[in-house]
């Protein structure tokens, strides 16, 4: 039994599952309040997910975009943190079952974020590479570098081609930014690192199932991002879906087959659910239904915020976008409402203020939508860099990231091309159905 299996009864205990943007903001807003905050996460750090693709492509080291959760809250006396895996919610007892034992709560906030969605395609899930966490980004970096090393000594032209074909699946911001980063690697870095390789053999594809890239952004930004990528040598395939992938050949809905061992999957996300909630509390896409107060229907003291939450309204029939500003704003508002609940005051409904959308494609290339204002190119790129730099947690992370970006800009180099954790190819070449 953990020291958190019971409550003292002196202060209401608020348990936050997840140390992402929403969970961190909520805990910060409850500082100096008459509550006990318990945060649970499987990692002891907060991850700045928008820059994971730069870790995967050697632009940044992992510790540039991660920050210890305990350090964020080191001066917050009403805060407790535990590294654990939450296995189940037991709502009728106000208890969480975890890998370190049961944890009692008075108020529960589910802020678990999202996982990669393979849409039930087990074979694709087994053979392709996702990028939703730092370990996955490091695996991806190692796979890319190991395949390039192997291509140097590969004699078989078919296998060599498969090692040098890179396919990014999903034309959202992550897919666009990852494709652009790979294109810059090909142009500026690989010719110096691998002079024996013919760079014309290195091919980068971006496959998107809908008719346009960056579906959540304006038509102008969508067209410009595609134009930028094609200028950089990326083969953009829109309105094309992945049919099958067996680890060697990627079959597409347009009858095209791509010989590749590098499939990078960013085609969708689903909520990182916890067991224990009834089916009627789960929305499409594996997310938890939440009302205008971010409360899970049927439960007075259970809430959901961030990517895992589905706040369905007439204006937003598909829910709010899965971006950091949504989670941060929900965390701020929920902190107020929990205090209102404790004091038996009226709750305030959550209203999302859309601050705009942006995506970078590469050096001096980005697209930005802010309200009805749209702009692209170098100014948009500087805006993107400034916003992301200021959003990083920790002064050191801001400085390290800024220095890396300045160095990369003037040197045309990406200095972190290290195979720190060797990627186990065998696990991806075994037949998933044979296990």
Q: In this structure, are residues 390 and 243 in contact, taking their beta carbons and an 8 Å threshold?
A: no
> CA separation (Å) from 265 to 27, 46, 54, 74, 301?
32, 23, 15, 37, 36
SS3 251: strand
Catalytic position from the list 25, 61, 177, 184: 177
Give the contacts of 34 (CB within 8 A, at least 6 positions apart): 11, 12, 342
Q: In this structure, are residues 81 and 273 in contact, taking their beta carbons and an 8 Å threshold?
A: no
Q: In this structure, are residues 283 and 310 in contact, taking their beta carbons and an 8 Å threshold?
A: yes
Residues constituting the chain: 435
CA distance between the termini of the chain: 35
**What's the CA gap between 358 and 356, in Å, rounded?**
7
Radius of gyration of the chain (CA): 23
**What's the CA gap between 366 and 379, in Å, rounded?**
8
Catalytic residue status for 208:
no
**Residue appearing with tokens 């038996």:** 344
Q: In this structure, are residues 289 and 6 in contact, taking their beta carbons and an 8 Å threshold?
A: no
What single string gives the DSSP state of each residue in 148-217? HHHHHH---HHHHHHHHEEEEE--SHHHHHHHHHHHHIIIIIHHHH-TTS-GGG-EEEEEESSSSSSTTS
CA count, 13 A, side-chain hemisphere, 216? 20
Residue 80 sits at φ, ψ, to 5 deg, of -130, 140
State the DSSP code for 434. G
Q: Which helix (H) or strand (E) holds 354?
A: none
Burial of 7 (0-12, 13-18, 19+ CB in 10 A): middle
Give me the active site residues, please. Answer: 177
């Amino acid at each position: 039994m953990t020291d958190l299996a019971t409550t003292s009864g002196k202060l209401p205990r608020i348990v936050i599952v997840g140390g992402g943007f929403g969970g961190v903001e909520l805990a910060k807003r409850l500082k100096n309040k008459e509550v006990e905050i318990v945060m649970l996460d499987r990692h002891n750090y907060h991850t700045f997910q928008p820059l994971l693709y730069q870790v995967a492509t050697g632009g940044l080291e992992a510790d540039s975009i991660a920050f210890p959760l305990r350090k964020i809250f080191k001066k917050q006396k009403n805060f407790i943190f535990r590294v654990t895996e939450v296995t189940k919610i037991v709502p009728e007892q106000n208890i969480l079952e975890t890998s370190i034992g049961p944890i009692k709560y008075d108020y529960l906030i589910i802020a678990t974020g999202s996982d990669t969605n393979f849409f039930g395609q087990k074979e694709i899930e087994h053979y392709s590479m996702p990028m939703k966490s730092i370990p996955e980004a490091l695996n991806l970096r190692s796979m890319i570098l190991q395949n390039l090393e192997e291509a140097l000594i590969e004699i078989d032209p078919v296998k060599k081609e498969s090692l040098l074909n890179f396919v990014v699946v999903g034309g959202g911001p992550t897919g666009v930014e990852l494709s652009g980063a790979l294109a810059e690697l090909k142009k500026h870095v690989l010719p110096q690192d691998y002079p024996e390789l013919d760079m014309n053999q290195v091919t980068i594809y971006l496959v998107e199932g809908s008719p346009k890239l960056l579906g959540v952004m304006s038509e102008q930004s969508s067209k410009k991002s595609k134009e930028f990528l094609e200028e950089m040598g990326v083969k953009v395939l829109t309105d094309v879906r992945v049919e099958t992938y067996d680890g060697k050949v990627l079959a597409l809905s347009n009858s095209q087959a791509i010989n590749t061992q590098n499939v990078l999957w960013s085609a969708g996300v689903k909520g990182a659910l916890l067991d224990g909630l009834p089916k009627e509390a789960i929305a499409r896409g594996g997310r938890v239904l939440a009302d205008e107060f971010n409360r899970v229907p049927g439960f007075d003291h259970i809430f959901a915020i961030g990517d895992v939450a589905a706040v369905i309204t007439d204006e937003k029939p598909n829910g709010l976008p899965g971006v950091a500003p949504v989670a941060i704003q929900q965390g701020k508002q929920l902190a107020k409402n929990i205090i209102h609940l404790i004091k038996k005051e009226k709750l305030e409904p959550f209203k999302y203020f859309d601050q705009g959308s942006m995506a970078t494609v590469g050096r001096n290339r980005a697209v930005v939508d802010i309200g009805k204002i749209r702009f692209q190119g170098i100014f948009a790129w500087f805006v993107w860099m400034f916003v992301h730099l200021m959003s990083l947690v920790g002064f050191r992370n801001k400085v390290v990231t800024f220095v890396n970006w300045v160095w990369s800009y003037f040197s045309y180099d990406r200095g972190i091309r290290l195979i720190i954790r060797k990627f186990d190819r065998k696990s991806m070449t075994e037949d998933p159905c044979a296990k």
